Each structure stands twice: as structure tokens, then as C-alpha cells.
Structure 1
Amino acid sequence: MIKPQYSFLTSSFSNGLAMVSLSQSKGTKKGDRELSSLYIDKKNRNVFGRKFDLGSAFENGVATVYRKEKTWHINTKGEMIRPIEMLEGQDVRQFMNRIKNSTASIKSNRFIICEGMSYGFIDRSGTKIVPCKFDAVRPYRGGRAAVRVGEKWGILALDGSVVADPSFAYIRDYFGGLCAFFEKGKWGYLNAKGEVAIKPRFTMAWDFHNGWARIVANGRYFFINAQGKRLHIKGYQFAGDFYGALAPVMNDGEFWYIKKDGKKAFERKFDLALAFTSHGLAPVYLNGKWGVVNHRGQVILVTANPPTIKEGVIRCRPKDRDMYHFWNSQGKPLVQFKRDNTTHYSDGWIKHLSRSRISYYSTKGKLMLRVPRAKRPSMGFSKNQDIGGAMGDMFGRLVRDGVEGDFHEGLAIHITEDDRWGYFDKKGRMVIKPRFDSAEPYFDGVAEVNLADDHKGYVNREGKLIWKSETPSIVEFNLPSAIFGGVKKEPSRIGDGEEATDDTSKDK
């Protein structure tokens, strides 16, 4: 038995370890508190001897942690590993979005629903395709969805029929017609019919991308094709996925990129090389500096901090004390800001977030839209505040700053001062009146919302509720769930009458 001594049990025991959170005094100011997390075993020992800012439960021997503004995977020995999924330098918002599965299945017209603690699927009209009868489900990928009954995973087709009975220890998502599965300590692959295509014989296995999947065997990384044939017989100490035509690999501490025939893409090597984006750009690290390379190996930009790349637009700080700048895929500057406020690239526009308003710019720097923001309380722990309430306030503020005003499919979330959530379009018109407790971005024409009576629902682009849960939401506390919490009228405009100016220096 472990005596009550922690502020939170952030995750239940998995792989013999659990994450707990502690609230501790911060600095010299009375009442200031900070929250840190650590992993304990069933004897209540801090097994890694270190603390993290955030972290997830262990799954198949791997957990995701956020520490000192970097995101990593760790194994059950506490060793930090750097597969390509764990980009260094992600901010908290990116970390949250990574560990939270989207409820929207990519372009499949299937959306996850929950009744009590059971899960199913609806389509875009709100019609129930799969009744809520599973203990866990994941979004559809490649026309298939992984579902769990008890401790075993199975596979569903789009019409809800069973492709494979829940009999596997774990199943990944379908990519390229195959999915990795875990059974009796080894990984293999299933085809779209749920049949074993590649027998389980690997220590680790990931998704197929552009015809190749990376696996670990005998402590080395390899690439295999759909027939299980290896690309390179000797393997690597580390390898990333083939996002695009190139993949990063590493031996003896040096990273480089290879083509799908296993040959070097170019001669240049790096201290760290990450995956290429769909626009042919990749973040790299060499001699103490970050940069961005194209598929020819040309360094088009050198930065002081890890760059983020989205839709071919690069966001970074050229020097340590610089503000965030935006650059195009040729390394030419697009927009620079005088104040270091929260900035993101979203749906073709650059979002600039300040305390009082949100401004949007084209990639040529033209002001496209400006909308007011409601006042927000400051973050932090006060002396007499309940730790649960303080943690909720902190995560709530981070979530708001992360999702507020981000455009997806032409609509962005607006949050009022009394914490009602709605949506506005790219003309600043309030197309869906703020009436929700919280809301998610639109994906595939539908958005998930939380209703005032603790029920969950989905709304279409007109704001019509297409589905509402029959029972209030019941969610066991864990890190992802704690973080995320008819007649069409002419819409009103946010901040009607306020004239937009092109002077970013006025942003506070």
C-alpha cells in the first residue's frame, strides 16, 4: 500500500510504473507553487531519480514525457530515446496535441462517441454506425479501426463489421494496407483482412510509410517492405520513417538521410536529423545550431532554436533573443513580429496571439483579420488554492492559448469572458454562437463539443447538434483527458465596428 502523499495520480500503474504529481514551493514568493511529475514503482520508489513537467502512462514499455521544453520517449529504464516521433523543442501545446488522439478519423466519415465508459462510432449525419460496446477505440485509418474488449484488441471495418476478433495484445493503425500488431512479446503485421501478413518476430515495429516500415531486431533498426524483406542488411542504431522519399538514419552518433533504395540521399551528415515534411523540408542539428534542409541536402535556414514546419512555412527564432519569425520553403523571410507573443501557422494564415486580441496575417505579411479576446486570469498556484483546481486552471489556460483562434476547415474557436465556446469564420463573423463548455477544432466537417450538462456532442458546420451522449461524460483521470478537457441566420461579426490596423507593435 502507498500512503496518500501525492497531489495527483496522473496515470495508473502500467508496465509496473505509475506517474504521480507533486506540488512544491517555487522561488521565494510566498504561496507560489509549481507542479512536477515522476514515475514510481509499486514500492513507491522514484525509479528514474528525476522529475518531468508532464508525462503519459507507459504503453508497451514506452512513455512520452515533456521536460525542459523538450519532448521525449523513455523506456522502463528511464532512458531517453529519440525516435523521429519525438521532435525536440516542442512547446506544451504541441505535446498536448500529440498525446491526445483526435476523435475524427481521417477522411473516413467516422467519429468516436462515448456512453459512460464504452465507445462506438457515428457518421457525419449523426447516425450510429457502431454501438458503444467497446472499452477503447482508436480513429479509423485506412478504412479500419482498432477496438479493445478487456485487454485484447481487434479490428473493425467501416461498416462496423468485425475484421479481426479482439485477440491481440496491441494493434497499431493501418497504413499502406498493413498494421503492426503485438503478440507474445513480438511485433508482426496484419493485412486488411485481419490475416497475418508478416509473422511476429520483431522487437519493435512501426507504421508503413511510402512502402517501407521501420522495425527493431537484435537491437538494430531496419526497414522492411510489405513482404517483410529488409532494405539494408546491416541496419542502423536508429532510423526514422520515410515521410516523403527520404528517411533519417544514424550510426556512431552521426545522422544522414537515405533514399528508398537504401543509398545516401546526399553526403552531408548531422548531429541530429528529423523526418521530412510533405513539403520537402526537415529540421536538423549540427555544431550547436538548428537548421532546415531541403531534399537536396541544402541548408536553407540556420536558427538558434528548434524550428517547426507546417504546410511549408517555417517558424523559428534566428537568434536566442529574437522574436519568432516565419520563413517560406526557400528560406526567405515572410513575417516578423515586434513582440514575442504566441504565434502559429494555421489554415493558410499566421496567427498572432496577444492578451487583448488575435491578429491574422497572410504569408506576405498582410493583415487579414483582427478579432478581440476576452480577458484571462493569470496562471499560477496561490497559497490557499486547491491543488486540483490550480492544476485544472493551468491546463485550461494552456489549452485556450493553444486552440483559441486556430483555423481548421475555415472555422476557428472563440471563447467569451464567461467561458462559452463558439466558432467564427475568416471574415470574423460569429457563425456558431458561443454556447459550449469547450470545443475542439473541425475535422472532416464535424467538431466535438462539451455541453453544459456534462454531456458530449458533435456539431456540423452550421452549428446543428448531430449527436448528444445519452449519459453524462464519465472519464477516469489521466493526463490526456485532464488536459483536454436549422435556420441559418446572417452571422454577427466579432468586435463589429473595430477597425483593423497593420501596426503589430500595438499588440499587448
Structure 2
Amino acid sequence: MASVTAVVAILAALTVSAGPDRSGPLFPVRQGGKWGFIDRTGEVVIAPRFDAADRFSDGLAAVRKCAQLGYADGRGEVVLVPAFEPVEPGLHRRFSDGLAAVKTNGRIGFMDRAGKLAIAPRYLRVEDFSEGLALACSEAGCGFLRKDGTYFGSDMYMGGTSFRNGFASIWLAMGMNLKRTVFVTGELKVLPGEYEGSGDYAEGLAPVRHRDAWGYVDAAGTPVIANRFAEAGSFSEGLAPVTVQETRRCGYVDRTGKLAIPPRFASCRPFSGGLARVDLAENPATDAEQVAFVNHAGDVVIRGDAARPPFTAADDFADGLAAVGAGGPPAFADDVVALGYIDTSGRYVWRPTH
């Protein structure tokens, strides 16, 4: 990251009017109580002037300036101020597949990038669109919306997940430690097989829970890795995080179910950008999280407590950077956690700031 003097010079050179639009991902940062955006090198692209901001999605970022809630483009200009309420207080939802969820009169629908209603507000809760479909729930149950507003659902469906890699989960029952889930294809066909819990399909496999243990099934629902884990996550880059029953420690299995990285972490996340986030705490019940990142060999290559300044929490890597927090988990809103970014070498491109 540039020195403080260099950053001040960069900010002074940027005016309140929008600067040139930059290609590549932009990342929200907070400085002096205001939010702006940097590029992957840590250079300020949009000077901090918003009271709250979110990541870019579909070319727009949800922002707040004073009482105005809207969306900014890559130059930092507010190009859309919806005439609808946000689904949750604070900021509008991100755009996904060209649509964003909005609320009016207590009901949720979707607007397009012009700010016009594309799907009428009829629902009590929705997930964002993914792969052309969005989970939507009303008093009559849950189901999936297509982008043209047509709906597939049932009063038997109590919830579900967004589509990932051609599949989503539907919950048939919940409560009293009971959960029944099934998988739905992108053609909205229910696959055979019911589970006590399930995760996302990735690389052709999905984690499922049966008789209080987790394993993996393929795209046809056929078991391929036996249910023997206390927890299991989705595959990424050929490996999946699992927690073994005996020690409750987390490691990584390959597609055959063999432990490729021994279970020695308090928790672990899927790989992203060649690295996976883990917790090195010896006793997670009493010890604070010791956030770190490991490579495919299981070697610890980045430690939060070894960074200068140290960070105590982190997100997974996305677009080449990982958001890190000093004093709490990183968040993109008007919070008080110091937010920074590191690259895959562990170098700060933006040191944590408020």
C-alpha cells in the first residue's frame, strides 16, 4: 500500500465529481468515516465520500449519502435512486442477474437497472437471483422465481438456498432438530433423495447430511463419499473442508474422500484463489480465533497475528484480494471495524482504516 502521504496526495487530487471509469474490480474502503473504492493495487479510484457502501455487482454498488439510498457506477456517480424501500435497513440489495430485490408496502419484488419493477412485490422474503432463478417465500410457502416473474413452488416448501452450479436446495421440514432437504435442478425438477441437511453443488459434488453425519453425492444423487464427517463444505479447487467426528478438527478431502490436508484446524473454509481461510486456535471454545490462510499443501502461508498491523478476522479471497478486519469481522457498511485488504502474498494493499 502507498504511504499515508501518498494516499493523502491521491485523495487531494480527486474531486467530488466522478473520476475516470476504471476496468477491473473495485473494493470498498472506509477512511475518515466515509466510504470510497480502491482498485486491486490499492489505488483510490473513487474518493471516500459516501456514508455507507457495498461491493460492486453487475457494475453497480449500493451506496448511502446522507439519507439518500442509491447505486453508484464505476466513476462514483450515483446513477440510480430507487423509488422503493430497501429490503433490509441500511443499503439496497446488490444487483444480480440484472435485478435487485426491493420492498414496497411490506412486500418484496425485484427492480431492473432502470429502477422499474420487473417482478411485482408479492413476497415476504427472497434471495438474490442466481443462474436465472431466485428463491421467494410468501404465506403460501416457498419456491423459485424466473426472471419473467413466473413461479414454481409449493406449500410444502419451507425455505431453500440459491442456485449454485445448476442446483439448489429446498427445505421440506424444519424445527425440533429436524430438517428435510431435497435438491432441485435448474429445470426445477426435484431430484430423488432426502437429507437432514445439504450444501451447495460444486465441481459435481454436494455435501449432504444423513443420520447425523456428512458425506457427498454426485449430480445424480448417488453417494460417492461416505457420511462420516461431523461437518462438510463445498468442493473448490479439487478439495473440500471437512470436520472429523473423533477430534472435531477440520481438514480437507479430495474427490475420492481421502484426507489430503490433515484435520488440524479449529475451522476451515473452501479454497479460493489458491488459498483457504482457517482458524489455528487450539481450543475454539475458549481461545480467540487465530485467522490464517493455507495453500493446497496445507502449509500456513499467511497469519493474521503476523501481519503488521495484525488482523483478527478475514473474508475469503475474491478477485485477488481478501478483506480483513482489525477488531472484528470485515463488513461493508457504516460499522466501526477497521477494514483492510491483503493480496495472496499476505501484503497489505490497503491497511485497516476506519
Q: TM-score, normalised by structure 2?
A: 0.69
Deviates more, 1:256-265 or 1:211-220: 256-265
Which residue of structure 2 aligns with residue 492 of structure 1? none
Which residue of structure 1 aligns with residue 221 of structure 2? 297
Please point out which of 268, 275, 278 is paired with 2:193.
268
| Structure 1 residues 183 and 461: alpha-carbon distance in aligned structure 2, compared to 1, 3 A threshold | same
CA contact (8 A) 1:291 1:303 kept: yes
Which residue of structure 2 aligns with residue 239 of structure 1? 160
Q: CA deviation at 1:213?
A: 0.5
* Structure whose CA Rg is larger: 1
| Structure 1 residues 194 and 128: alpha-carbon distance in aligned structure 2, compared to 1, 3 A threshold | farther
Which residue of structure 2 aligns with residue 173 of structure 1? 94
Q: CA RMSD in A?
A: 4.0
CA contact (8 A) 2:230 2:248 kept: no
Which residue of structure 2 aligns with residue 371 of structure 1? none
AA in 1 matched with 2:211: N
| Structure 1 residues 108 and 193: alpha-carbon distance in aligned structure 2, compared to 1, 3 A threshold | farther
Which residue of structure 2 aligns with residue 203 of structure 1? 124
| Structure 1 residues 174 and 275: alpha-carbon distance in aligned structure 2, compared to 1, 3 A threshold | farther
Structure 1: how far apart are the matches of 2:346 and 2:274? 23
Structure 2: how far apart are the matches of 1:450 and 1:262? 39
Please point out which of 184, 190, 199 is paired with 2:111.
190
Which residue of structure 2 aligns with residue 116 of structure 1? 32
Q: CA deviation at 1:108?
A: 4.3
Q: CA deviation at 1:223?
A: 0.6
Q: CA deviation at 1:276?
A: 2.3
Q: CA deviation at 1:214?
A: 0.8
What is the SS of the residue equivalent to 1:309?
Answer: coil
1:24-64 Cα shifts (integer Å, max 9, x gaps): xxxxxxxxxxxxxxxxxxxxxxxxxxxxxxxxxxxxxxxxx
AA in 2 matched with 1:292: Y
AA in 1 matched with 2:130: H
Greater percentage in strand:
2
Which residue of structure 2 aligns with residue 438 of structure 1? 311
CA contact (8 A) 2:84 2:104 kept: yes
Q: CA deviation at 1:271?
A: 2.9
CA contact (8 A) 1:111 1:122 kept: yes
What is the SS of the residue equivalent to 1:148?
Answer: strand
CA contact (8 A) 1:324 1:340 kept: yes
Q: CA deviation at 1:268?
A: 1.7
**1:257 aligns to 2:183 (yes or no):** yes
AA in 2 matched with 1:313: L
Q: CA deviation at 1:333?
A: 1.0
Structure 1: how far apart are the matches of 2:247 and 2:32? 49
| Structure 1 residues 447 and 322: alpha-carbon distance in aligned structure 2, compared to 1, 3 A threshold | closer
Which residue of structure 2 aligns with residue 213 of structure 1? 134
Structure 2: how far apart are the matches of 1:184 and 1:164? 21
What is the SS of the residue equivalent to 1:305?
Answer: strand
Structure 1: how far apart are the matches of 2:325 and 2:278? 26
Q: CA deviation at 1:137?
A: 0.8
Q: Which blocks of at least 5 consecutive residues in structure 2 are unaligned? A: 1-22, 87-91, 174-178, 327-336
Which residue of structure 2 aligns with residue 46 of structure 1? none
Please point out which of 277, 283, 290 is paired with 2:207.
283
**Number of residue pairs the alignment of both structures matches:** 304
Structure 1: how far apart are the matches of 2:135 and 2:128? 7
Structure 2: how far apart are the matches of 1:460 and 1:291? 33
Sequence identity percentage: 22
| Structure 1 residues 187 and 151: alpha-carbon distance in aligned structure 2, compared to 1, 3 A threshold | farther
What is the SS of the residue equivalent to 1:140?
Answer: strand
Structure 1: how far apart are the matches of 2:324 and 2:279? 23
Q: Which blocks of at least 5 consecutive residues in structure 1 are unaligned? A: 1-106, 356-375, 381-393, 422-434, 474-508
Which residue of structure 2 aligns with residue 154 of structure 1? 70
Q: TM-score, normalised by structure 1?
A: 0.50
AA in 2 matched with 1:180: A
Q: CA deviation at 1:249?
A: 1.6
Q: CA deviation at 1:349?
A: 6.8
What is the SS of the residue equivalent to 1:306?
Answer: strand
AA in 2 matched with 1:444: D
Which residue of structure 2 aligns with residue 413 of structure 1? 302
Structure 1: how far apart are the matches of 2:182 and 2:338? 50
Q: CA deviation at 1:297?
A: 0.5
CA contact (8 A) 2:142 2:154 kept: no
* Residues 65-464 of structure 1: pairs in structure 2 closer than 5 A: 108-150=24-66, 153-165=69-81, 167-170=83-86, 171-232=92-153, 236-251=157-172, 254-265=180-191, 267-272=192-197, 274-300=198-224, 301-311=226-236, 312-317=238-243, 319-321=245-247, 324=250, 326-329=252-255, 331-335=256-260, 337=262, 340-342=264-266, 344=268, 346=271, 348=274, 397-398=288-289, 401-402=290-291, 404-406=292-294, 412-414=301-303, 421=307, 435-438=308-311, 443-446=318-321
